[in-house]
Amino acid sequence: MNLNMTLSAGSSTPIENVANAREKLERSPPLWVQVYLQTDVSKSVQWIKRAEAAGCTALVLTVDTPILGNRLSERRSLLAEKELSTKPIASAATVNRILMDARTKQEAKDIADSAGGALINSALTWETTIPFLRSVSSMKILVKGIMSPEDARLAVDYGVDGIVVSNHGGRQLDCVPATLELLPQIAEVVAGKIPVILDGGVRRGSDVFKAIALGADFVLVGRPVLWGLAYDGENGVSAVLNILERELSQTMALAGVCSISEIGRSYLGVTREDGFGIKRL
């Protein structure tokens, strides 16, 4: 289907293996890589260099996790932290999850001190982070976790190559707005200067249509693909993606749209309400 893929920094599969599998395809889709900058940035640089050497063309920097949210579902999960901790790339995420169980400030400090710089960096700034990434990699830079027009404007000003409007699946902050609500304001500020990507809650092809109509250039899909993988491996992934593609085509046909470029807000019958959210007319 020639869709691009973004590999998580916490992947249990080495990026080199993914890149090798990609090269065997008749059409090699673009491969992007997601990264958290760690307090010891040299650890992150190693991962970035590996990704670039493997053929990745874009770096997706996640910025909405300066600390870990109160992820109750993860607390209840059967995730084996000890197994994950043996994988260096997963160490930052693992340590941050362990921190959720700290009962006192001193206990949290002890966990952080033992991490050896593996914690996710909570002191990123526009002024230093983007130039730093430019200095260590020639990959395109996308910033994931943009949830305000102000940050979108800063992303443009500091020369990033694209933004992802994302609320981390609502797992970081349970009262955060839906990405679709904020998308129109963010797209208006960006004004086509860089690509605007949306993720969060894309479950049907009609969701893709709505996102494009409200200003997204394209969307990212996560959980549906994993559901397909769990159901039937590679065939399950293919089935999910084909369903989304078919539903998008159906929605376009029923809306009277012949091409992606024709999709606009008028097809939804929605407008912004007092500068926040969307409503039916």
Q: What are the pLDDT digits (tens) for 140-166?
A: 999 999 999 999 999 999 999 999 999
Assigned fold of 139-281: TIM Barrel (3.20.20)
What is the separation of C-alpha 43 from the centre of its chain, rounded to a whole number of angstroms?
A: 20
Residue 224 is predicted with a pLDDT of 96
What pLDDT, on a 0 to 100 scale, did the predictor assign at position 85?
A: 45
Residues paired with 6 in a beta bridge:
32
Give the pLDDT score at 279: 54
Taking a C-beta distance cutoff of 8 angstroms, is the pair 60, 33 a contact?
yes
Domain boundaries, the chain: 1-58+65-119, 139-281
Q: Which residues of the chain have pLDDT under 50?
A: 80, 82-90, 275-276, 280-281
Report the catalytic residues: 168
Neighbour count for residue 6 (Cβ, 10 Å):
20
